[in-house]
Structure 1
């Protein structure tokens, strides 16, 4: 795109006073004697597959990204901008998310307002998130006001982050009990706990009304899979990408454990059509590696070259069960 710009502007019938681009959005200022439509027509003719549309200022205002730019008589005045279809819906205060996540959303919008807005319009811009969070999203008024005030006053005086502990675990957020577990781990074992949201309506429900179970997705991401050979041997692996892409790589690779098995036993045949998904939708790579190692210990595949990540000897994996059952001994 940079090369396209340099070529187009060097041959333009006139030069813009300024030209700023963010990905595929461009902000341009022209002399009053120049016709914007002429510049647009010139840009469209530069490449058959690169087309432009144009929006000019109306009532001395022009939106660009999330900023509204007002063309005053002396200077350009920036304020915040939201599309007319913006719903002002954020994480509701009653939703099962960590309080720090909810407070961080308020902080982010306050920082955005201070970074974007002209000081003369800052108070008006701050009033919008106040009404949005208190009225539409159920946030306590005191929490919103104090968070915004603290953000505006101490934006450049952030306290240094505490030194991280050697070990960190990621656990699902389940309300008060999660805070108790976090404090206990930090105090007794010097372990930091971070949280992730458990199943949400967005993950469970689909637009067509059907649930989001693994059976409705024949090509899941973040899965643990099992590939069988007609000799009775099997291979267990994991991938963060769509399963079909990883399966295609296995079929064409000459360095994988499966290809090595075929080279050593040319009469054997891999059953590509009846692969098994043992687990799916595991976005955290540490959890995937852990699940892979557990299934390797449980199912004892003969084609795998290693046993996966280290599993403590205190973990007892039930090899006879059809479902994953782990206990500590």
Structure 2
């Protein structure tokens, strides 16, 4: 359910519109709205091909459904409407020219791959032309949508309840970069269980925690780097973060191959972990900054069942070796 103020605010917002909706139906927090003569405006940061696509689609629609005696009048009305949406006469005239669909379809069939790029004028459009020479189709996306600029009226969700790419630190100074399509909290519980049961073969986190040395996984310091529900984009982001965090204990570099052409950019965005080892200070939860790690780490160690198990495993291994 929406806020009790949503009805008043929605009517207030409509009163500020220069172009009023033709139809506005509302039931509780659901609305059905019809705006006429309102299309993608010429000013937003969309690729020119997308704007031309709006004009050509409306033109082809008119040519298909209009009777011959009404077509000319419909096209004139369309030109007036497009001018009111910010397009100039030259843009309208070029986009309304009939297209050779057969040639366009044949060219599209030759494409061997598809690349998604944010539209940045005079930057990514030039990259798209280079990709087109190698039969790679380029799909341009807006850099920022209106939805991303508006603050949500809903309460903030718990970071552990969303999917995405996350970072899990260890007291040794290294971090684990992971991704999950489920909630981060669910994946966190699995990592804890693997550590507690000594299942090093099921988790790189458990393998690192049970390895030689003083390794305490700081589960409570797990951070969500990027919320993301898309499958491919989530895997790509994971690989990027693994390359950025050079001090990581991931057993693999991710499920997606990242071309080495991106290495110069990633090299300049590498992240140095705040936690270090040796004689330097490590801020372990429960300890104050500026204190030595020996005693505090031991105290923190006793509060973790999986850590106690790791000590037993190490002692058992040492006794067998002896």
Tell me the TM-score normalised to structure 1 length. 0.50
Deviation, 1:197, is: 1.6
More strand by share: 1
1:195 corresponds, among 134, 137, 140, to 140
SS in structure 1 at match of 2:166: strand
Measure, in 1, the Cα distance between the counterparts of 2:110 and 2:237.
26
Distance 1:88 1:282, change over 3 A: farther
My pick for the range that moved more, 167-176 or 93-102, is 167-176
2:232: which partner in 1? Answer: 285
Measure, in 2, the Cα distance between the counterparts of 1:204 and 1:158.
36
Deviation, 1:149, is: 4.5
Measure, in 2, the Cα distance between the counterparts of 1:207 and 1:285.
26
1:178: which partner in 2? Answer: 124
Q: Is the 8 A contact 2:117 2:139 kept in 1?
A: yes
**Where do residues 152-231 of structure 1 align in structure 2 (5 Å cutoff)?**
159-162=105-108, 164=110, 166=112, 168-187=114-133, 192-206=137-151, 218-219=158-159, 223-227=164-168
Alignment of 1:94 onto 2:35:
no
Measure, in 1, the Cα distance between the counterparts of 2:156 and 2:170.
26
Measure, in 2, the Cα distance between the counterparts of 1:262 and 1:234.
19
Structure with the larger RCO, 1 or 2 (CA within 8 Å, 6+ apart): 2
RMSD: 4.5
1:150 corresponds, among 66, 79, 98, to 98
Q: Is the 8 A contact 2:166 2:223 kept in 1?
A: yes
SS in structure 1 at match of 2:41: coil
SS in structure 2 at match of 1:108: helix
1:11: which partner in 2? Answer: none
Q: Is the 8 A contact 1:226 1:236 kept in 2?
A: yes
Measure, in 2, the Cα distance between the counterparts of 1:166 and 1:84.
40
Deviation, 1:204, is: 1.8
Q: Is the 8 A contact 2:166 2:179 kept in 1?
A: yes
Distance 1:289 1:230, change over 3 A: same
1:9: which partner in 2? Answer: none
Q: Is the 8 A contact 1:228 1:234 kept in 2?
A: yes
- Unpaired stretches in structure 2, ≥5 consecutive residues: 1-31, 200-205, 211-215, 275-322
Size of the aligned set, in residue pairs, is: 223
Deviation, 1:92, is: 1.8
Q: Is the 8 A contact 2:163 2:184 kept in 1?
A: no
1:236 corresponds, among 153, 168, 177, to 177
- Unpaired stretches in structure 1, ≥5 consecutive residues: 1-82, 324-329
SS in structure 2 at match of 1:236: strand
Deviation, 1:296, is: 2.6
Q: Can you list the C-alpha shifts for 1:118-169, whole angstroms capped at 9, x where unaligned?
A: 556544544443222112x111223324433516xx6688652255455554
Measure, in 1, the Cα distance between the counterparts of 2:123 and 2:240.
27
2:319: which partner in 1? Answer: none
Distance 1:125 1:289, change over 3 A: same
Q: Can you list the C-alpha shifts for 1:265-313, whole angstroms capped at 9, x where unaligned?
A: 6999976654311124585824x323212323415544x4522033456
SS in structure 1 at match of 2:239: helix
Measure, in 2, the Cα distance between the counterparts of 1:157 and 1:310.
34
SS in structure 1 at match of 2:183: helix
Tell me the TM-score normalised to structure 2 length. 0.51
Alignment of 1:140 onto 2:88:
yes
SS in structure 1 at match of 2:86: coil
Q: Is the 8 A contact 1:171 1:194 kept in 2?
A: yes
